[in-house]
Amino acid sequence: LYKCRPFTICIPSILVLGFVYVAYVLIGGVVFWKLEGDLGMKDVSYLLEKKERLLSTYPCLNQAGLEAVAQVRNKNVGLSLKRNYTADGFWKFTSSAVFAATVVTTIGYGNICPSTTGGQIFCVFFALFGIPLNIVVLNRVGKKRLTCTRFFIHFVCYICGVVLFFIMPMIVFKQQEDWTHAEAIYYCFISLSTIGFGDFVADSNPDKYYPDWYSFLIASWIFFGMAWLALVINHSIEILERLNNYFKKQFKKNDNQ
Amino acid sequence: LYKCRPFTICIPSILVLGFVYVAYVLIGGVVFWKLEGDLGMKDVSYLLEKKERLLSTYPCLNQAGLEAVAQVRNKNVGLSLKRNYTADGFWKFTSSAVFAATVVTTIGYGNICPSTTGGQIFCVFFALFGIPLNIVVLNRVGKKRLTCTRFFIHFVCYICGVVLFFIMPMIVFKQQEDWTHAEAIYYCFISLSTIGFGDFVADSNPDKYYPDWYSFLIASWIFFGMAWLALVINHSIEILERLNNYFKKQFKKNDNQ
Ligand SMILES: [K+]
Ligand SMILES: [K+]
């Protein structure tokens, strides 16, 4: 299967690729560990100090009470502890539709999730047919945009995309959500790449009032932005594979000489 | 561009597809709203009642105190309120590597996220090159398995995959994490489809001790399971497109008659 020169060791390319993959993830792990680790430690000690201060400020509160209060906040149903009155929970029609959209796009912010067994089972089957549908639709939209084939037009497309899907949303999110520039860009990328950590979620702060056009804007931003970013990612895969083929050819040439 | 019979209205197929897509998401929204809405209301009233009970049990605790306690729990740094001592936070090397893996696979559980600006910016660039790499690797592994082409062998492949990637992990998760059958299956699907809500995350309960082989098993399960599920989803897209072509041909036949 693998033609080799004599006295060279043959390594199947999948193994090399696998090694690069594992190394990439481990190096990433080390960087995150170094970047976040120290602050994480500070955070933990800060929180422990705060916990001690709470226990002394409210003398009636014991360990069990602390856990009970934490548990109330722990269940995510869109309940704000600040307001005394309650909105009708998270599961209104509009937010259910947004939830359904995060399922089929596989963003899955998870700031809210189905908690009933029925909801969980429906979620599985809803995603099973919805994810392929979403991929087919995105591919169609992506192909429509593939008409700009020359390098310069490509370049203009990319710049326009960055402005339209990153710079402009960043300004809007900064205004509406009071995030920093870095946080807004981070949110844009984490959403459009469908990673969707859910540490920042637009249009979901129960203590804020949003304008009517806001959620519509977010929906269209996510849809067209995902189509655009899928295109960019497809292109970088293409470039990677072309580079791979180029090096294979070079290798063969050297082999024949 | 679109050849039509006289007196028929021509609708471009992208519009039909778009309509199906929007309808699918909206119908899903309605189902989630109905399934979860009532329980959500119950949850909210239950939590409000619990909050009132807490305020009366711990008379020294006022609204401000309640918010302060909730805030301590709100920051996710892997801190357990139950134990008095603290582990060294979440950002150890092993969990940082797991975090890096959830980034490149775009699962993004988000039970833990970078909170420093440096970590957030690194995360963006780490994902920008890691996601294409992950897709390339998964495609390679997927193609290796495409050697079973006949229907019967396909069918056996599917059944084996379901047993290997759903039934067996379900049994393990049920034992190790004390989840119900439905919750374990839901977790399997939400992980392998890369939705990753993060409402259930294996190997991350700070109050539990896990065996050593556990995290290695999860890592290989996620990797090979994702390759397998990507194959299944690719096949269903292929089937959808074949059906589409079939109906187009039938339509043309009827046209020519
Ligand atoms: K995700
Ligand atoms: K997610």
Higher pLDDT, residue B134 or A76: B134
Would you say residue A24 lies in a domain? yes
- Give residue-wise pLDDT tens across range B155-179: 777 888 889 998 999 999 998 888 8
**A197 shares a domain with A115:** yes
pLDDT confidence band for B12 (50 / 70 / 90): low
Would you say residue B229 lies in a domain? no
Contact of A96 with B37, CB cutoff 8 Å: yes
The stretch B7-27 carries a mean pLDDT of 73
Determine the pLDDT at residue A81: 46
CA-based nearest residue in chain B for residue A61: B58
Nearest-ligand number for the alpha carbon of B194: 1
Contact of B192 with B162, CB cutoff 8 Å: no
Residues of B in Cβ contact (< 8 Å) with A99: 29, 32
**A36 shares a domain with A131:** no
**A163 shares a domain with A36:** no
**A135 shares a domain with A58:** no
Question: B100 and A60 in contact by Cβ < 8 A?
Answer: no
Residue A82 confidence (pLDDT) above 50? no
Expressed in angstroms and rounded, the spacing between residue A199 Cα and the centre of ligand 1 is 12
Expressed in angstroms and rounded, the spacing between residue B104 Cα and the centre of ligand 2 is 12
Would you say residue B17 lies in a domain? yes
Higher pLDDT, residue A252 or B47: A252
**What is the residue whose two structure tokens read 């089937």?**
B239
The stretch A73-81 carries a mean pLDDT of 46
Comparing A8-17, A220-229, B175-184, the range with the smallest average pLDDT is A8-17
Question: Which residue, A26, A44, A62, sits at the end of a domain?
Answer: A62
Would you say residue B178 lies in a domain? no
Would you say residue A74 lies in a domain? no
Residues of B in Cβ contact (< 8 Å) with A135: 233, 237
Determine the pLDDT at residue A11: 60
- Give residue-wise pLDDT tens across range B135-161: 777 777 666 544 445 566 677 778 888
Judged by a CB distance cut-off of 8 A, whether residue A126 touches chain B is yes
From the CA of B26, how many Å to the nearest CA of chain A? Answer: 6
Would you say residue B93 lies in a domain? no
Residue B90 confidence (pLDDT) above 70? no
Question: A114 and B14 in contact by Cβ < 8 A?
Answer: no
Comparing A53-62, A71-80, A204-213, B5-14, the range with the smallest average pLDDT is A71-80
Would you say residue A6 lies in a domain? no
Determine the pLDDT at residue B172: 92
Residue A203 confidence (pLDDT) above 70? yes
Comparing A114-128, A205-219, B3-17, B220-234, the range with the smallest average pLDDT is B3-17
Report chain B's mean pLDDT, rounded to a whole number: 74
Judged by a CB distance cut-off of 8 A, whether residue A39 touches chain B is yes
The stretch A62-78 carries a mean pLDDT of 57
Determine the pLDDT at residue B169: 92
Residues sharing a CB contact under 8 Å with residue A140, sequence separation 6 or more, in sequence order = B14, B17
Higher pLDDT, residue B90 or B36: B36
pLDDT confidence band for B106 (50 / 70 / 90): confident
Range of the domain at A123: 88-257
**A241 shares a domain with A145:** yes
Judged by a CB distance cut-off of 8 A, whether residue A148 touches chain B is no
Report chain A's mean pLDDT, rounded to a whole number: 74
Judged by a CB distance cut-off of 8 A, whether residue B54 touches chain A is yes
Nearest-ligand number for the alpha carbon of A194: 1
Domain count, chain A: 2
**A204 shares a domain with A95:** yes
Residue A163 confidence (pLDDT) above 50? yes
Domain of A243: which CATH number?
A: 1.10.287.70
Determine the pLDDT at residue A110: 81
Would you say residue B79 lies in a domain? no
CA-based nearest residue in chain A for residue B20: A133
